[in-house]
Amino acid sequence: MSQKGHKRPRISNKLLAVVSALVLGGGGVAVVAGNASAGQDDNRGGKSVATIDCPDVGDKLTAVPEQAKAQVGENLAELDAQVADAYKRLASGQAKGDALLGELRDQRGKTIEKVAGAIGDNGAQKPEELKALSGCEMKQAPADANQAADASAAKSLGQKGGPAKSDFVNINKVRPNVRTPAAQSGASRGSFSSSCGRNEEKHFNPDNVIVAPGVSNGAHHMHDYVGNKTTDAFSTNNSLAASGTTCTNGDQSTYYWPVLRLRDGKAERDAQAPGGGQDGNVGTILQPKQVTMTFKGSPVGQVKTMPRFLRIITGDAKAFTNGTANANASWSCTGFENRQLKDKYPICPKGSDVVRTFTFQSCWDGKNADSANHRTHVAFPDKAGRCPNGFTAIPQLVQRITYGVAPGARFAVDSFPEQLHKPVTDHGDFINVMSNGLMNKAVNCINGGRVCR
């Protein structure tokens, strides 16, 4: 892991010992409702666990001056670190809920003021409304019996922070639910694919160069990368353009997503590292069996080229606490991909692989390669495939990733600690670094109805 950039508070030896013990026991850290040592009955009579739910400040930003972007990004990452550290303290029994929430509110208030000040000091109107976002609260989640066990029993804690039984569903019990808009006259029916491997080079880090540039462990969970070989928190447009690629057609784009792990009690190489065990992400990292990157057209017309260095995030890493407005997870099984799950992990039958599909936004505002909240410069088409007013259709990236998982095996996506590895938090990230020539080839193939690689 790179040691450059933003510094994080060091966790205590006591907490590290707790986390390490949990790693060896097979799971991450979770907060038992109310305190760290006992379960609590929820209002349905079952056991529950609690996590910390804080407003997403970055999602509320509408304008950040260029000169303020670095400072704003660093402070947004600090807000994430504050929540993660508070969650760990609560889980380890170092602090109790009410007192911890008050301390967290004060920390966040100071950091949010820095965000607003950086924006106001650099030519934009100071967003005073951000002050209302400092307070956090507890959010309850169903727990398996072993998740609500006494905190002193590390073996029972092995699955705490991991997925609950209720987070899984047998794919055979899911009805077909996929609907695709019918292609109209003039639709762009072709496709363009980049073959970029399955991360055989083991390119992992817990950075997020889109949301937290210049900040080590800005994601608090480990990412799988294919395509651009050098992407990390400190990448720039120039460094990305100078990098090699794992894609066979010369596509230098950056494609990344959270790793998927077996919750098998085995210590991975990141078991005591940021983004790994220190952030409750434990177990064996699964290498995908297959990864495809396919750009598709529009059912209502032609697509236009996307600009180099366009950044797109699909899904929401904080959807468990934020709500599902920006969620875009799609879980399924091979042979059953007409059945997509948004907030459940699939239990696949023998011989069927787990599938994660990320269908990216395919409407662009025609001006910006990014936006203050990393969302509003792109949009999804409507149910008929039409882009919103003021947006134009660009090639739609569809990432499809498959994994061999034994039927009934417990697995989970890496997440921010307080997101409890919920399937709804799955997300994908993309930076277009195709050369202009390659992008033109892709668009010509798509608009011409051809299948190209």
What is the per-residue DSSP string for 272-312? TSTTTGGGT--SEEPPPSEEEEEEE-BTTB---PPPTT-EE
Mean pLDDT rounded to a whole number for the chain = 88
Quote the pLDDT of residue 267: 94
- Under the banding of pLDDT at 50, 70 and 90, the label for residue 163 is confident
**What is the average per-residue pLDDT within 194-221?**
97
Per-residue pLDDT at 96 exceeds 90: no
Domain positions in the chain are 30-159, 165-452
**Strands across the sheet with 290-296, in order?**
331-333, 354-359, 396-403, 290-296, 191-194, 451-452
pLDDT in tens, 166-178: 999 999 999 999 9
Lowest mean pLDDT among 43-47, 213-217, 219-223, 359-363: 43-47
The Cα-based distances of 10 to 143, 273, 274, 383 in angstroms read 30, 12, 10, 48
- Under the banding of pLDDT at 50, 70 and 90, the label for residue 89 is confident
Per-residue pLDDT at 76 exceeds 60: yes
* Nearest alpha-carbon partner for 324 in 56, 72, 104, 119: 56
Task: State pTM to two decimals.
Answer: 0.88
High-pLDDT (> 70) share of the chain, %: 86
**What is the average per-residue pLDDT within 18-32?**
35
High-pLDDT (> 90) share of the chain, %: 79
Per-residue pLDDT at 152 exceeds 70: no
Per-residue pLDDT at 17 exceeds 70: no
Give the pairing type, strands 191-194 and 451-452.
parallel
d(CA 412, CA 281): 9
pLDDT in tens, 386-429: 999 999 999 999 999 999 999 889 999 999 999 999 999 999 99
Quote the pLDDT of residue 276: 97
Quote the pLDDT of residue 161: 65
Scanning the structure block, which residue is given the tokens 């990141």? 270
Quote the pLDDT of residue 46: 56
> Can you list the alpha helix ranges (DSSP code H) found in 312-376?
319-322
Quote the pLDDT of residue 142: 77
Helix (H, G, I), strand (E, B) or coil at 127: coil
Quote the pLDDT of residue 5: 43
